[in-house]
Amino acid sequence: MDLVKTEAAISVAPHIEAADGDIAIVERVKAGDMAAFDTLIKKYRERLFSVVYNMVSNREDAMDLVQDAFIKAFGSINSFKGNSGFYTWIYRIAVNMSISFIRKNRMRRFFSFENVNEELAPSEIVDKLVINYGGRKATLLNELREKLNEALQTLSIKHRTVVVLHEIEGLSHDEIAKITDTSAATVRTRLHYAKQQLQAMLKDYLG
């Protein structure tokens, strides 16, 4: 396996570089170029899915919510003034929709998880876990997936949002503050608390 490539694939925070050119694409969409919107979909669908999926813990719901977020963004593209990055804007739409969805469906939630793509799993960490715990790699990854999702579900929506955006998506505190409409200090506080919770839940895996 190409370790460098794999690490690069899961590395986070190429957001600023990736956001270059978004404004020009948005202007094309505003002018009626629907193909330009396809470019934005292709560019952000995986990242949005990752955020939404880790918030709602249901792959089908996450797919629907990401689609709805894109439709909402498309429908209100003229209201996007470019004061913030397009990715901040679309992340905010997706996060708000996810929060609304979780609140609406609090009483009837079903979890359905994606399989771990072994090629994308950080091989160095997998190796460490195999050394520490033994057993088959696939079994270990499945068990870890369950534990991780279980731990994330114990967090409140606000804390989960911050963890997902920072630890999984790699957004900065300032970016998260913009998306969640809070201050960077609040983001840091929530993150600190959430990580404490997660560490307690996942202590069996932490060396």
Partner 1 sequence: MSYNKKDKVNLEDLLKFKKAETPSADDWKRFDDQLKSKIMLSIVRKEPFYKRVLSSIPSFGKALPAGAAALLCVGLLLSPVIISYSPQGDMAQGAATSYASDGVILPNVDSSFATNEFSAFNDAESPVSARLNSDRGSLVSYVSGAPASHLATF
Binding site for partner 1 (CB under 8 A): 10, 12, 34, 37, 41, 45-46, 49-50, 53-54, 59, 63, 66-68, 70-71, 74-75, 113-118, 120-122, 125, 128-129, 131-132, 141, 144-145, 148, 163-164, 167-168, 195, 198-199, 202, 205-207
Locate 37 and state its tokens. Answer: 């919107």
Judged by CB, which is closer to partner 1: 111, or 181? 111
Judged by CB, which is closer to partner 1: 71, or 183? 71
Locate 140 and state its tokens. Answer: 């270990």
Judged by CB, which is closer to partner 1: 2, or 118? 118
Query: Which residue in 71, 76, 68, 66 sits closest to 30, CA to CA?
Result: 76
Q: What one-character-per-residue DSSP string does 44-109 give?
A: HHHHHHHHHHHHH-BHHHHHHHHHHHHHHHHHTGGG--SSS-HHHHHHHHHHHHHHHHHHHTTTS-
Locate 31 and state its tokens. Answer: 């002018």
Judged by CB, which is closer to partner 1: 102, or 116? 116
In the complex, the smallest distance separating the C-beta of residue 107 from partner 1, rounded to whole angstroms, is 25
In the complex, the smallest distance separating the C-beta of residue 136 from partner 1, rounded to whole angstroms, is 16
